[in-house]
Structure 1
Amino acid sequence: MQKATAGICFSPSGRAYSCTPRSANRFLIVSPGPEVLQARPELSWVPVVGANQYVISIFDEEEVEPSKVATVAALGLIPSQAGYVKIPYPFPEALTVGKPYQLQIEAQSNDVNQPEPIVAKVFFQVTADQ
C-alpha cells in the first residue's frame, strides 16, 4: 500500500492525486488499501483539525451494524511528516482472510462550529495473513 506524502495522496484503488494532508476539510483513510496482507492491519488516516476522538468501525460486507468498534483519543496521535496518523489494529479479533470489509473512521469534535462528525470510509479485503 502506498502512503500519502505532502501534496500526494492515494485513493483506496491506489491512484495518486494531489491533496493537502493537513487540510481541515479533507478527511481520508490512507491505509488499509483495497488488498491487505495482514489479518490485523495497521490503520492510518489524515487527521481532522479540531477532532478530539475517532470512532473506528469495521463492518462485515453484509452487515448494517459494525462488527467491531473502538474509540481512539486524538490527543495522543502525532501526525507523521507526511501529515497522517497511524495506529496498530485496535481489536483483539483478527480479520478473516478472503472476506470483504468496510472500515469507517468517524472524527468527533466538541467544537460547536463542527456539530456533525466527519466520516471517511474504505472497502478492503484481507488477501493473506503474513
Structure 2
Amino acid sequence: MQPFGGGGYRPSIRRFHVGDYVYLQQTAPTTLDVTVGRIILRVREVLPSGVLLLEGRDSVVWKDHVHNCAPCHLPNVDGTMEPSLAIVRAGLRCMLCGSAGQAARMLVCDRCSRGWHMSCLNPPINVIPAGQWVCPRCTLEG
C-alpha cells in the first residue's frame, strides 16, 4: 500500500482476468458455526462493477465481488469440468424436441451450452460421454 495525502493508505485493488483461479472466501453465518472452507473457482467473466462470474468444476456459475476473492496460485489445479457433477439448468429445452423434461438424460454442449436429449440425437446416445461433448450443430460449424 502506498501512502497518499493526509497519511492514509490507498487500498490495493485486486485485478483478475478470465481463466484465473481464485479462492472464494466465505465466512460462517454465525460465530458458532465451524469455519467455512475455501472454494477454488475459475474466473469466467469480469464485470465492470467489480463482480466476477466464477465457475466451479460442476459448471455451476457463482457471482461475487472481487473483495471476496483471493488469487489462487496452486500449480496443480485441475481445470477440467467434471461431467458427473454438472447440473442442467432449470427450464433448459432440448434443441430437437423442445421439451424441458428429462433433464437427467440431457447433454449440454460445451461450446454453445444448448441442451440435447440423448434419445433425440440421431443416432441416440445411451451412455453419457466422458470428457467434453460438442453438439451436432457446433460440430457442423467446425
Question: Is TM (by shorter chain) over 0.5?
Answer: no
Tell me the TM-score normalised to structure 2 length. Answer: 0.19
Q: TM-score, normalised by structure 1?
A: 0.20
- Asked which structure has the greater CA Rg, the reply is 2
- Select the structure that is richer in strand: 1
